[in-house]
Amino acid sequence: MTLPKCHILFQFREGPWGGSNQFLTGLRDRWQAGGCWAQRPEQADVILFDSFNEAQEVIAWKRRLPDVPFVHRIDGPISIYRGADRHLDRLIHAMSAEIADGVVFQSQYSRQQNLALGMAPPPLAQVIVNAAQDKHFSPAAAPPAPDGRIRIIASSWSAHWNKGFDVYSYLDQHLDFSRYAMTFVGNSPLRFKHITQLPPQDRAGLAALLRQHDIFLTASRSDPCSNSVLEALACGLPVAALNSGGHPELVGEGGRLFDGVDNVLACIDAVAAARGPLAAAIPHRRLESVAQAYAGFCHDVLAAARPAKRLRPGGVARLQGWLAWRRLHLGIDQLQRWKGARDAAA
């Protein structure tokens, strides 16, 4: 099978950033190494775009390249894991309906929830779970802690409360710190008393920190495909995860699930007691295999999408309408942040 030349419409960023940036950077690098990367959109056989990112640019390129099939990478629904921003899901679903010839969902959970929320079934779709970058995230047995404690680590780029900060706050007060040590890496709305806090790290720095710990813990709610979990699993850490979103699919037999503050301590104890067997059962996901799956799906879309989907005038108006809603919400958010800062300074 000859793989098509693919381009990703995305604003790549260096250093620590969100999960989409981390994964798509790795996907781009693998495509470059495999010879199926197109440096410019006009050189591509297939265009991949992500969620609602660079929506205006995606629309512009679709109008410029009407004969090129577009593939939409979707997670979410955003309104479920944020508890707000339903307009973003509507924008994403509209982009899928008006632009995409195929859709990649990042988990079965994401696929089911988006369709349940009213997304039109795409003409061609596949679930492809993300993978961490192998050159950074790989297992290495950590020596025991000098004080004998079991080391727990959690991480999050986002400081949104639904990333699990109610559980982390509870652990800060109730975890047995004579038996356990816990570190949080990333952005947080809280200052912890007993949990060590570290700022966001680049990929190499985060991987090194993960390998210095024994257990990864995540309490994020309705997270469709957590890159933090995938990175920890790739480093060989068994996981204690909230039974929510795509966590059960990702963790598999490589960890245990909990339902909230009522049983998170018992879950941690269970993972600590079975660290060896759980680590041995971690599902192996290689970025190279995931990149091949994406390229294979793009090949299938290219073969099926003849002709490629065309943007209708009414479709453009629909997309621009949801983009206007997006700009309005951003303005409201900025105003609220300004008022909050003003009130705090008063």
One-character DSSP codes across 208-264: HHHTT-SEEEE--SS-SS-HHHHHHHHTT--EEEES-TTHHHHHTTSEEEE-STTTH
Indicate whether 276 and 169 sit together in one domain: yes
**192 assigned to some structural domain:** yes
Indicate whether 16 and 109 sit together in one domain: yes
Of 235, 264, 280, which residue sits at a domain end?
280
Q: In what order do the strands lie in the sheet with 239-242?
A: 196-198, 180-186, 150-156, 215-218, 239-242, 255-258
**pLDDT tier at 344 (50, 70, 90 boundaries)?**
very low
pLDDT over 90 (residue 133): no
State the pLDDT at residue 13. 87
State the pLDDT at residue 334. 62
CATH number at residue 62: 3.40.50.2000
Domain hosting 310: range is 6-131+287-340
Q: Which residue has the tokens 């699930």?
A: 257
Nearest Cα to 228, choosing from 238, 216, 240, 236? 216
Query: In this structure, what token pair is assigned to residue 37?
Result: 């990367």
Q: How far apart are CA 305 and CA 150, in angstroms?
A: 53
**138 assigned to some structural domain:** no
Indicate whether 91 and 47 sit together in one domain: yes
**pLDDT tier at 14 (50, 70, 90 boundaries)?**
confident
- Other CB atoms within 10 Å distance of the CB of residue 18: 14
279: Cβ–Cβ under 8 A, 6 or more apart, which residues?
139, 236, 237, 238, 254
**165 assigned to some structural domain:** yes
Of 259, 280, 301, which residue sits at a domain end?
280
Q: 210-259 pLDDT, tens per residue?
A: 999 999 999 999 999 999 999 999 999 999 999 999 999 999 999 999 99
Q: How far apart are CA 297 and CA 288, in angstroms?
A: 14
Indicate whether 258 and 316 sit together in one domain: no
Q: 62-94 pLDDT, tens per residue?
A: 999 999 999 999 998 999 988 888 989 999 999
